[in-house]
Amino acid sequence: MYLRNILSETKIKNIIFDLGNTLVYFDFSYFYDGVARLEKKLNPAAMKRFIAENKLGDKLCKGTLNHKEFFRILKKKFNLKIGFSDFIYLYSDIFWSNNSMKGFLEKLSRTRRFRLYLLSNTDSYHINFIDKNFPFVRLLKNRALSYKIGSIKPQRKIFLEALKKFGINKEETLLIDDMKDNCEAARKIGISAIQYKTYSAFLKQFTKLIKQRK
């Protein structure tokens, strides 16, 4: 009831949720360490460094690199013996639920006070894994996904494409994202933003912002 009361009459009509470390947590070390358990000679730190230096993660999220090519690159570089199916499972199984935000999203969805959206730097395997294992994320049916747009946050293009795809006004829109750079980029084009750090801090900022924007 408290949440419903503070939402009445607000000028914010649209809320765009980030995914990773906002709705679900993730840790890529699960992937590196998982592969290393099967590949005894692999140094997981070296693989992590190679992926970062070659921006392979960004390329996956932009849709300019497919997962089989990603696998082939790492297989050749580190002489991996692991098969693709095991590799891609370990790559995908790095998430766990942010239960506080799960409850928040479910309550917000029931109020029907806002139009709710998802804007994420992600790839096809990660989003499919999340949809399968964390059904509450499927409440966000309207989505702008980086690998389909060909751009990643905090690039200006992805925000503009999201607004266009959703058909919404920036002045009536709030972004919830864990990354400072993403929030700042959104604000530069006129979208309100809250950087998610902890649930208690987020809820305090959300309540304050909603009251200010009435």
CA–CA separation, 150 vs 205, rounded Å? 31
pLDDT-based confidence at residue 212 (cuts at 50, 70, 90):
low
CA–CA separation, 163 vs 192, rounded Å? 13
CA–CA separation, 170 vs 193, rounded Å? 11
- What's at 6, amino acid-wise? I
Starting at the edge strand found earlier in the chain, the sheet holding 115-120 runs 142-145, 115-120, 14-17, 173-177, 192-195
Burial grade of 164 (CB within 10 A; 0-12, 13-18, 19 or more): exposed
Q: Residue 166: which residues within 8 A CB-CB, separation 6 or more?
A: 14, 16, 115, 117, 142, 144
CA–CA separation, 206 vs 17, rounded Å? 13
Give residue-wise pLDDT tens across range 121-163: 999 999 999 999 999 999 999 999 999 999 999 999 999 999 9
Give residue-wise pLDDT tens across range 61-88: 999 999 999 999 999 999 999 999 999 9
